[in-house]
Structures are given as C-alpha cells and as structure tokens.
C-alpha cells in the first residue's frame, strides 16, 4: 500500500491532503458504540484525533443481544433505529469535540454471520448519513462473503498497516481473533468466543461483567466441562475461519446447559471454567503462530479489546504461553478503540477504491474493496 493522495479531504501540513474518517464499532459484547476520529495522509500515515464510547441503555442493549430472535419487520425497525442512534450520536460527538469528518465508516452490529451463506450487520447506513449529515460507508463484510470469503476477521489489514511493529495482534472482544504475517502475507482467524460468552454468564450471576476476573479467580474449574469445550470441532479447523453468535448458540450454550443440569454447576463455576477455556484457546493459538516463525527471538503480542481489562484472564493466558511469547498491553486508547481506528482505515481505503479485505485471511476468491457508500442528503431549507 504505497502512499497516495486523497481525492477528498483537507490540506494538512506540508501540503499533503488529509482525509478525516470517523470509525464506528459496535461489537458482539453489546456494551456501546465506539467512536474514533482519525486523520489519514496515507494508509500508513495517520493520527487519532479523539475517541469516545457511547454506552447503550440497558433496554437497547437487550434488544441488540436478542436481535437474532426478532421477526423480520422488527429486525428492520431495529436496524433503522440503530442507524439513527449512531448518526445522531456521531453528530453530537463531533460537535462536542469541535471537529469534523469527511466520512463515517461504520461496522454496524452483527446479527447473523454464517459464511459462505450470509452475513448481516444492522445499523442502516442511510439513516446514519441522514442524521449525521456525513457520507457513510458500511456493510464491509458482504462483498467478501459474496466472493466466497469468511467475511471476518476484518481487522488484520489494519494490524499490518497500523501496528506492524508487533509480531502478532490479538483482540479479545466479544470474539477473540489474532493475526500475524507469515511469508509476506497476513494470516488471521477468529480464535474463540470471549467477552460475549463471559459477559453472558456474568449476567446470570447479576453483574454486567466479571470485573478483573475476580469471580472466575475465586471459583472452581470443572474439568469435565473444560475438556468438552476444548474438544469443540471448530478449534481443529484450519485457518481462515471465523465465528459468529451462531457458534455460541449451537455449540457453547448447549454444552454449558448440559453440565449445569447434569452436574449442578453454579454459574460462578461455569464462569471460572469458561475463563480458563478462553485463556487456553488464546494461548494455544498464540504459541502455534509464533512457532510457525521458526525463530529463537522473543515475540511481541499486541493485546487489545475489552478482555484485556480482565486481569485474571490475562494472567491465565500468560501462564499457558511459551517463554518466547510476550504480551504487550498498549495505551488505554489503543486497547479500547483499536477496532474503531481500523474501521476508519478500512473506510479510508474504500474511498480510494483500494482493497480493504484480503484473501489471505478470509479465503475469498479475490481481494475486494468492501463497503456500501451512502451519500448524506442535502436537505432543503426552503
């Protein structure tokens, strides 16, 4: 990705054109919408101007969490409501910060993801563009899936362009994913469900999440449940591979329910076991990725996402790692907003009609420039 001049934007220092993209992310954890305003000179030259998370209300969070159960019309209504919420929130965010954006790049909120058959994110781009008054790029996954790809993960190109100083990039969000460069190509895959399943169980206990992993740390790990989770078929599949909520509903949740009924496990014991499972899966894949390099040096792993704040989970991951693997936790801004920053990059590349989703980590037939563009309507004042 050589340097290139933006066709839309403002002039920066030294006469270079700068494009400001507001990256927006709503993840499977359903905690809120992340905003990251990023200024790009090129795909590798950028600065993060400001960031913020807008939390969902409890009622809206619940609607998103169970969106997969909604009738068709209700799901369409929710998509438009989410688009309006994102658009109005984006406008208020920029106004409060005294900033402007040339484009919005919104991931949306994934409701269905089952490649190669379909992927569906809600958060209507037309509604975002209308209420923010900014041209909006969304639906980044569909073109890749239409070309036979997994449609995920989408972050690895950002890992390669923005965070190339690290050997491996690990994001522990609703779903954990990892990426690295092997033989000059970016290789990536979804590792396992993470905050999505941990938060689900924490809510059964009566808390939104397990702060610092204290509940998991203080409770018993059930060996039988752990072994069965470790044996789930997905973990034996080769990359590229991706996970959606469907995996949790079809494989993880039934396994949890069975052990809760048959062995009278408490939710606290289930949370402890799941935390250990997530730690083991992440460590196993990080160990394998670094071994693939066939080197003797120490490997740095950039760790981001909400799961990084679970200190017990991070301790358990470290316990299972090879000595040559070192975890690096960056600044709070990078930990919390890396995905929004990367979606700003993907939006920037889309404005240039450059590839932003690659075959090497999705398995698609070709690289694509993914994303649908909705132009902000010019409203008459007369």
Q: CA–CA separation, 80 vs 58, rounded Å?
A: 19
Task: Give which of 11, 10, 33 is closest to 23, Cα–Cα.
Answer: 33
The one-character DSSP state at 11 is E
pLDDT in tens, 187-222: 999 999 999 999 999 999 999 999 999 999 999 999
Q: How confident is the model at residue 6, as a pLDDT?
A: 35
Which residues touch 81 (CB under 8 Å, ≥6 apart)? none
Count CA atoms within 13 Å of residue 347 on its CB side.
36
Find residue 104's DSSP bridge partners: 22, 136
DSSP conformation class of 297:
S
Q: Which two tokens stand for residue 134?
A: 């900014």
Output the pTM of the full model. Answer: 0.89
Residue numbers of the chain with a pLDDT score lower than 70: 1-16, 294-297, 380-382
As to burial, measured by CB atoms within 10 angstroms (0-12 exposed, 13-18 middle, 19+ buried), residue 123 is buried
SS3 category, 268: helix
């Amino acid at each position: 990705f050589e340097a290139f001049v933006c066709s839309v934007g403002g002039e920066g220092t030294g006469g270079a054109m700068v494009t400001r993209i507001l990256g927006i992310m709503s993840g499977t954890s359903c905690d809120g919408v992340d905003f990251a305003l990023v200024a790009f000179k090129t795909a590798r030259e950028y600065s993060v101007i400001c960031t913020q998370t807008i939390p969902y209300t409890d009622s809206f969070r619940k609607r998103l969490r169970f969106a997969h159960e909604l009738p068709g019309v209700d799901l369409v209504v929710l998509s438009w409501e989410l688009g309006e919420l994102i658009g109005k929130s984006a406008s208020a965010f920029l106004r409060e910060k005294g900033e402007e954006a040339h484009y919005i790049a919104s991931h949306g909120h994934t409701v269905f993801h089952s490649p190669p058959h379909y992927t569906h994110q809600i958060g209507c781009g037309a509604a975002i563009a209308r209420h923010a008054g900014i041209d909006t790029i969304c639906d980044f996954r569909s073109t890749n899936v239409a070309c036979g790809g997994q449609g995920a993960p989408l972050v690895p190109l950002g890992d390669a362009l923005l965070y190339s100083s690290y050997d491996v990039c690990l994001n522990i969000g609703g779903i954990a994913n990892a990426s690295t460069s092997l033989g000059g190509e970016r290789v990536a895959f979804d590792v396992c469900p993470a905050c999505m399943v941990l938060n689900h169980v924490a809510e059964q206990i009566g808390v939104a999440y397990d702060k610092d992993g204290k509940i998991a740390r203080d409770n018993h790990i059930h060996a039988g449940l752990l072994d069965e989770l470790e044996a789930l078929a997905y973990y034996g599949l080769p990359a590229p591979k991706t996970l959606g909520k469907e995996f949790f509903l079809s494989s993880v949740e039934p396994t949890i329910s069975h052990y809760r009924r048959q062995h009278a496990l408490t939710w606290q014991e289930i949370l402890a076991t799941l935390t250990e499972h997530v730690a083991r899966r992440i460590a196993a894949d990080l160990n394998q990725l670094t071994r693939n390099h066939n080197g003797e040096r120490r490997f740095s792993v950039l760790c981001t996402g909400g799961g990084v704040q679970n200190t017990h989970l991070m301790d358990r991951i470290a316990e299972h790692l090879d000595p040559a693997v070192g975890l690096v936790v960056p600044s709070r801004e990078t930990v919390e907003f890396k995905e929004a920053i990367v979606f700003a990059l993907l939006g920037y590349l889309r404005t240039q009609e450059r590839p932003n989703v690659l075959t090497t980590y999705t398995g698609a037939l070709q690289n694509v420039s993914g994303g649908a563009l909705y132009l902000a309507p010019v409203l008459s004042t007369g």
